[in-house]
Amino acid sequence: MWDESVPPATERVPGVVVSHVPASTGAYVGSPSIAVLPCGDYVATHDIFGPNSGEEASGVTLVFRSRDRGATWRRVGEVQGQFWSSLFYHRGALYLFGTNGLYRDAVIRRSEDEGATWTRAVDAASGLLTSGGRWHCAPTPVVEHAGRLWRAMERRPLKSQTFAGAFSAPAGCDLLDAANWTFSDPVVSDPAWLGGDFCRWLEGNIIVDPAGELVDLLRITTNAFPDAAAMLHLAPDGHGAAFDPAKDLMRILGGGNKFTIRPDPRGKLYWSLINVAPKRYHAGTTACYVRNTLALACSRNLRDWDVRCALLHHPDRFHHAFQYVDWLFDGEDLIAVSRTAYDDGLGGAHTYHDANYMTFHRVKAFRGERPSMA
């Protein structure tokens, strides 16, 4: 896909470089995701997007593995027809759950050899969950709750409307059989929300809230309402969904950009790695286009968030970013992969959005007074 004989200058790139795609190829790094195998090895994935990626016809996802807790990485696979995907481990196998291309159908694939090979999603019996396309998602959590497996996804039949909800299936079923999956009653967005400034909601997170209710927390793109987000309430049977714009539209830190939220297994806090946009970067743009600062944040109720500390920052917002971060708990640390736009000695990233790296990071002692990014 590109000339790997020309090494990038990666010595100044924060974290550990997992993958690099030069901007000159017209293809960019997207949708990072990470999972931990029972043996302790890490697996990470990202897709390829951009004008020369072939994303509209068929997505491609690259698979990487680390046997030394993220210190080094090796590419172990390539999955054709997989895009915008969440990587997760469930009952003895790895799965990729996303779409098969840009605004195409929902698909899920399984690997029983730790990411080296994957099933082919060609029909309703092998992981092709929908027909008719226009589905959208990002690497956000796949959650087991009340005997079902849940994954947020949105359908965008029109530019002015987005149908939001979640796929769910019995946790012990054959996940490749489309007949086992249910999509919740879709909630349709309204451009009149937020005083007419609502653009769309997308990239939802499935979370169990403090009351034990299942919710889908989505980012919102707007022009005048930075950090806007929305909360859908999902019924445990997989069908019902409720949303009250008077109560469930809110502002949360980092709400304008993709985020991953997970509950702390050792306490009552929720954690996220978010893009915050210092005011000095707001001139002439909106917060969702400012991704050059990554921060650690936590909340007790999913609505009110506190920033613990900034973890990564670059003063230039036009060609540098740490975005679409997916992460997991790893004892006292967090481990994360980032879609990173940074210098490479080959011209750098095309833009902040069109990233040229996937990087791995460890947030040491994240619950402590002075968490640090490795």
What would the pLDDT profile of 279-309 be if each residue is shown by its tens digit?
776 666 777 889 999 999 999 999 999 999 9
What pLDDT is recorded for position 69? 97
Confidence at 3, pLDDT banded by 50, 70, 90? low
> Which of 161-190 are b and which e, b meaning 16 or more Cβ less than 10 Å from the residue's Cβ?
ebbbbbbbbeeeeebbebeebbbbeebebe
Residue 8 has a pLDDT of 80
Establish how many alpha carbons lie within 13 A of residue 294's alpha carbon, considering only the half-sphere containing its beta carbon: 28
Three-class DSSP labels, 175-188: CCCHHHCEECCCEE
CATH assignment, 16-373: 2.120.10.10
Query: In this predicted structure, which of 10-14, 59-63, 133-137 has the lowest mean pLDDT?
Result: 10-14
Its sign, for the CA torsion 206, 324, 282, 49, is negative
Work out the average pLDDT over 214-229: 91
Q: Domains of the chain: which residue ranges? A: 16-373
pTM given for the model: 0.95
**pLDDT tens, position by position, 244-285:** 999 999 999 899 899 999 999 998 999 999 999 877 766 667
The pLDDT confidence band at residue 321, using thresholds 50, 70 and 90, is: very high
| d(C-alpha 193, C-alpha 228), whole Å | 11
